[in-house]
Chains A and B, each alone.
Chain A
Amino acid sequence: MELATWTYEGPPHIGAIRVAASMEGVHLVLHAPQGDTYADLLFTMIERRKTRPPVTYTTFQARDLSGDTAEIFKDACRDVAERFDPQLMLVGASCTAELLQDDPGGLAKTLDLSVPVVPLELPSYQKKENWGASETFYRLVRACSSGWQGDSGPDAERQKTCNILGPTSLGFRNRDDVEEVKRLLADLGVRVNVIAPLGATPADLARLPGAGFNVVLYPEIAAPAARWLKKTFGQESVTVQPIGVGACRDFIAAVCACAGLPDRAKCMQERLSWYSRSIDSNYLTGKRVFVYGDATHAIAAARICEEELGFKLCGLGTYSREFARDIRAVAEHYDVAPLITDNHLDVEDAIIAAQPELVLGTQMERHVAKRLRLPCAVISSPVHVQDFPARYSPQMGAEGANVIFDTWVHPLMMGLEEHLLQMFRGDFEFHDDVSASHLAAVAPQDHSASRPVELASVEPEADEPDVLTWTDSAERELKKIPFFVRGKARRNTENFAAERGLNPITIETLYDAKAHFGR
């Protein structure tokens, strides 16, 4: 048993619903108890979808358990075939139905429906949402494109066409990423064969092998399907995700290599590069940033932070265990400790320990950052309704880089404000307890005091009997340091004092430590 308040991913059947809801002509029959229809409102409310997701739930109740739940499932399948007449029916079970062991796949087979049925095995007690989505997509691709009879020999025109794999309903900015990537590919002269699962039909999936190569936009969703397409039809995959300027250039190079075109990476036009170079951005240098999210977005964010915005990565983590190895490699490259966990309390502890000045994470890290009074921007699912915006806001491609610059810099204290705050500490209308003019929702507060004793005790010096104390004057002096670096200053000073056996900490110690650490 595992204790969770927040869960980064839903159960695997949510992933299956996302794939079904992304496509046209597919209907999912889900064996599930009454109440599991809550999933519908993820689509109708959070994503503001205009139609009901194509899912029929059996919604069995306790009184049905003594009877024949299998019969209820079969009725639901027959009803769906008649009422919705889909091109393809997916059948599966949610966590409770999994315990009943009614075998949806086997039952659907006995019905002799005119609709082709793809059964899904969704082990709810082992796997999660993204796995469910990737498994569903893989099953669909296999079922639809195995029978490919078309030409798959070498052909220069075919080589210049690709599939875009991975965008789904409820994916973070997938709607606009697809537009941006389509534009990018069109500029390169690469034709798009099929985009899937978002907007595709089963017939479209059958055409997948007709492309020269695959662009895997979201490996969490499409990696298994792309691997199968490579094995079966020899299609290469572009596995760089074009999030950030450098990654976009690498993406273009990879696409050009697959398509047999000259590399045109230099032609990319975005504004992040200049904005980040302009002197206004000088104060961004070395800002400590904690990054957490799904693997794709976390890895991309780490590179943008370090190479494109001049931030200092102070933490990198993911809940995507399938991609733990990739995250570890990137963390090693940037010399931070990798955090592979799906426990939000572990993430919170890591954020507190890292004392960042900016948190880039998911909806959950917004909660943590709000509690710790830290600036925060959202870079990955899970997200709430405000991150399905009306405006064009991709993360990928040139415009994605522009969006990212604005979104990540916005929550930070602006340079001038930062300076004034330092000069006129305790100003009657401009002090720590009032929020910065552009940050109405975040009232800054000294969060470094939240766990000072615990932090000191986890240091190796904890075996020393005497507790490290601050003199009143030193404590007052510490308060004169701007709140967003105060936690870091406190910790550095305490480490410095502990190493040298200095106790209590005086103003002298504080400034000695400052000189020692350099900031």
Chain B
Amino acid sequence: MTTVIDRLNRPLKKKPSGGTAETPRPVLRERGQHEVFCGLTSIIWLHRKMQDAFFLIVGSRTCAHLMQSAAGVMIFAEPRFATAIIGERDLAGMADVNDELDKIVARLLERRPDIKMLVLVGSCPSEVIKLDLSRAAQRLNAEHHNNCRVMAYSGSGIETTFTQGEDTFLTALIHDLPAAAAASPQSLLVVGTLGDVIEDQFARIFQGFGIEHFSFLPSRLSSSLPAVGSNTSFILAQPYANDAAKALIGRGAKQIAAPFPLGEQGTTSWLSAIAERFNVGTARFAATTDPGRARARQAVAHSRKDLQGRKVFLFPDSQMEPSLARFLANEAGADILEVGTPYLHKNHVSGELACLPETILVSEGQHVDNQIDRARAAKPDLIVCGMGLANPFEVEGFTTKWSIEFVFTPIQGYEQAGDLAELFARPLRRRALLKVEA
């Protein structure tokens, strides 16, 4: 059967460049101050996604302070995350810490009987004192398994950077997924948190493709976790789900390799990879995606005039940077100067990087002062960076786009392509609009 890929004009064509196509792009690796969030921050969106889960950080006052500084403006009647703050007494002996943790968990579950999944989140202090939260989770699971599942993952800064917290969470979750029967039908699993609205859009497209069995991880409820087995095909919706991919392969699932669904081209490539795996015919693929593609192109065009030819410098934050840079370059016409990423998983982002010109510097890790020097020297029109750097750069006359918004805003899929472009265009338009100086 002819699959869609055979006929589809592959959208992600490599940009012409002088170098030989197969030489690996050099990557600048730096070690110095990393101006990034730790993995605990992932709780802020994960707890909204999984509506019956409670995230209990085992850490210090610093961890609690981080969480409220990052989530402080959200006013919840009953927030579904908290910190068990390690005190001086706990540092004296290990057995004591486990008892204390059991007491806190018991009190918490008594107070919140609606919680169906309790997630213990490891932090730097808990890891340095080698508190084994996986074992604690097993112990607590045995005790509370009737009404609540208990699991553990690490969100510590020493182990994880920002979105990597979701990766370690998903990895722990994948070990808990039910096994699919050997005779179960072919199914699709989409891995990585997406906004509910985006999930619904993709679900409609999958239905249009005629795919009957598909699910998303994380699921909205802990009771509806998808089964996984050798008939499961999975695709990453987020570039940071590296260990999760490994864990799924470990459980027999087969990966669908694709660029990430940002922009019209990224979404089309992502969907066509799925279509290929599920033998969706060309006509059906076109019928399902053409209206969305047209709408996405039209929507991005509104911001293209603001972004065309603009020089963009991306600081490392979420691992989404290569995909964002590809979108900016290919669909919005921007010139990329540097793509920083906290962690570069070559296999997962090779498709994205292949579309970027050879002149672009790709950097992994960070020495923030050196990188700031490079950014200043490169005089970009737009700097994509974290909130610790954004205002100081604005004062220096640079225009910035603060990067965590890409994690908190629905940007994937056709219907959000215009919003994604708008996120980059808005600060540029604003700078042009204002007749006041910083």
Contact = CB atoms under 8 A, between A and B. Distances in A.
B84 to A, nearest CB: 5
A367 B127 CA distance: 32
Nearest to B103: A1
B386 A41 contact: yes
A239 interface: no
Interface string B247-289: 0000000000000000000000000000000000000000000
A44 B387 contact: yes
B90 A1 contact: yes
A9 B61 CA distance: 8
Interface stretch (B36-44, B226-234, B293-301, B415-423): B36-44
B319 interface: no
B395 interface: yes
B93 to A, nearest CB: 13
Nearest to B67: A5
Contacts of B380: none
A38 B72 contact: no
Interface string A6-22: 11011101100000000
Nearest to B386: A41
A95 B395 contact: no
Contact of A124 (B39, B60, B104, B391): B60
Contacts of A99: 91, 125, 128-129
Contacts of A40: 35, 387-388
A6 B389 contact: no
Contacts of A52: 388-389, 392
A134 B227 CA distance: 55
B84 A2 contact: yes
Nearest to B84: A1
Given A36-B62, A125-B91, A59 B34 contact: yes
Given A50-B392, A125-B88, A363-B72, A10 B62 contact: yes
A48 B392 CA distance: 9
Interface in A288-336: none
Interface in B154-194: 156-159, 161
A249 to B, nearest CB: 36
A126 B395 CA distance: 38
A146 interface: no
A96 B158 CA distance: 10
A384 B73 CA distance: 7
A380 to B, nearest CB: 15
A51 interface: yes
B201 interface: no
Nearest to A345: B111
Contact of A57 (B33, B58, B127): B33
Nearest to B65: A10
B391 A45 contact: yes
B65 A96 contact: no
Nearest to B77: A371
Given A5-B81, A44-B392, A34 B38 contact: yes
Given A1-B97, A41-B387, A50 B369 contact: no
A3 B35 contact: no
Interface in A36-84: 36-38, 40-42, 44-46, 48-52, 56-62, 64-65, 76, 79, 83
Contacts of B107: 3
A35 B66 contact: yes
B162 to A, nearest CB: 8
Interface string A23-42: 00000000001111110111
Contacts of B386: 41
Contacts of B33: 37, 56-59, 76
Contacts of B388: 37-38, 40-41, 44, 52
B405 interface: no
B124 interface: yes
B11 interface: no
A338 B87 CA distance: 25
A385 B60 CA distance: 24
Nearest to A45: B387
A33 B65 contact: no
B157 A33 contact: yes
A1 B100 contact: yes
Nearest to B35: A37
Contacts of A145: none
A359 to B, nearest CB: 14
A62 B97 CA distance: 22
Nearest to A49: B391
Of B34, B39, B101, B395, chain A has the most CB atoms within 10 Å of the CB of B34
Contact of B86 (A1, A100, A128): A1
B36 A126 contact: no
B115 to A, nearest CB: 14
B128 A65 contact: yes
A52 B69 CA distance: 17
Nearest to B389: A52
A370 interface: yes
A33 B156 CA distance: 9
Contact of A44 (B124, B127, B391, B438): B391
Given A33-B158, A42-B69, A125 B86 contact: yes
Nearest to A128: B61
**Chain A: number of interface residues, binned into ranges:** 35 or more
A58 B104 CA distance: 33
Nearest to B155: A35
B434 to A, nearest CB: 15
A94 interface: yes
Given A3-B104, A51-B392, A34 B157 contact: yes
A1 B65 contact: no
A486 interface: no
A62 B90 contact: no
B82 interface: yes
Contacts of B161: 34-35
Given A37-B34, A41-B388, A11 B65 contact: yes
A3 B84 contact: yes
Contacts of B390: 44
A4 interface: yes
Contacts of A45: 387, 391
Nearest to B59: A95
B266 to A, nearest CB: 29
A495 B90 CA distance: 43
B108 interface: yes
B166 to A, nearest CB: 15
A128 B65 CA distance: 11
Contacts of A37: 33-36, 388
B387 to A, nearest CB: 4
A7 B124 contact: no
Interface string B27-60: 0000011111111110000000000000000101
Interface string B100-142: 1101100110000000000000001101110000000000000
Nearest to B68: A6
A366 interface: yes
Contacts of B34: 34, 37, 59, 61
Interface of A: 1-7, 9-11, 13-14, 33-38, 40-42, 44-46, 48-52, 56-62, 64-65, 76, 79, 83, 94-96, 99-100, 123-126, 128, 363, 366-367, 370-371, 382, 384-385
Interface of B: 32-41, 58, 60-62, 64-66, 68-70, 72-73, 75-77, 79, 81-88, 90-91, 97, 100-101, 103-104, 107-108, 124-125, 127-129, 156-159, 161, 369, 386-392, 395, 438
Given A42-B69, A79-B369, 17 more contacts: A1-B90, A1-B100, A4-B82, A5-B64, A10-B61, A33-B124, A33-B158, A34-B157, A38-B38, A44-B387, A44-B388, A59-B32, A62-B156, A65-B128, A128-B61, A363-B72, A367-B75
19 contacts: A1-B84, A1-B85, A1-B87, A3-B83, A4-B61, A33-B158, A35-B36, A35-B157, A37-B35, A44-B387, A44-B388, A49-B392, A52-B388, A52-B389, A59-B157, A61-B34, A95-B62, A96-B62, A96-B125
Top-4 shortest CB links A-B = A35-B38, A35-B157, A40-B388, A1-B100
